[in-house]
Amino acid sequence: MDSNVVSHYDKFIMLINTFFLIKKNGILLYYVHNHIMINVKIKPLADRVLIKPDMAESKTSSGIIIPDTAKEKPQQGKVVAVGIGKKNEPMTVKTGDKVLYGKYSGTEMKHEGEEYMIMRESDILAIIQ
């Protein structure tokens, strides 16, 4: 396999066919066919998307502290990784997109102390620009 290696400042870029590995500020990113995947050890399959939910508000605008039991579940987050899509149906969302999803969509999970949501792309209601 032929590969080209370019080193520039804090960036390390390696080209292998259509895959790029980029190391910036100590974080390894993968750039694959217009998708960037942060180095997470969870790879969604088919049309599934891995989302890092936004943090729930801990205070109201007037300064009242909201207890954990009364906090609303966040319904938006950032896409961390995407599957390859279904046959003849490429993925619309890409890594880094901020998305809005339904209150009861997907499956909550914890991995290495971080909370994530995994859901089908069809459960995503909108991409927030």
pLDDT by residue, tens only, the chain of 129 residues: 333 333 333 333 333 334 455 555 555 555 544 444 455 678 888 899 999 998 877 777 888 888 877 777 778 999 999 998 888 888 999 999 999 999 889 999 888 888 899 999 999 999 998
- What pLDDT, on the 0 to 100 scale, is given for residue 22? 54
Is there a single domain that holds both residue 25 and residue 47? no
* Alpha carbons 119 and 107: distance in angstroms, whole number: 6
CATH number of the domain where residue 60 is located: 2.30.33.40
On whether residue 37 sits in a domain, the answer given is no
The answer to whether position 57 is within a domain reads yes
Residue 20 sits in the same domain as residue 77: no
DSSP, res 127: E
Instruction: Report pLDDT for 99.
Output: 96
What counts of helices (H) and strands (E) characterise the chain? 0, 11
Domain membership flag for residue 84: yes
Give the domain extent around 2: 1-32
The C-alpha angle 19, 22, 26, rounded to 5 degrees, equals 150
Q: What are phi and psi of 99, to 5 degrees?
A: -125, 160
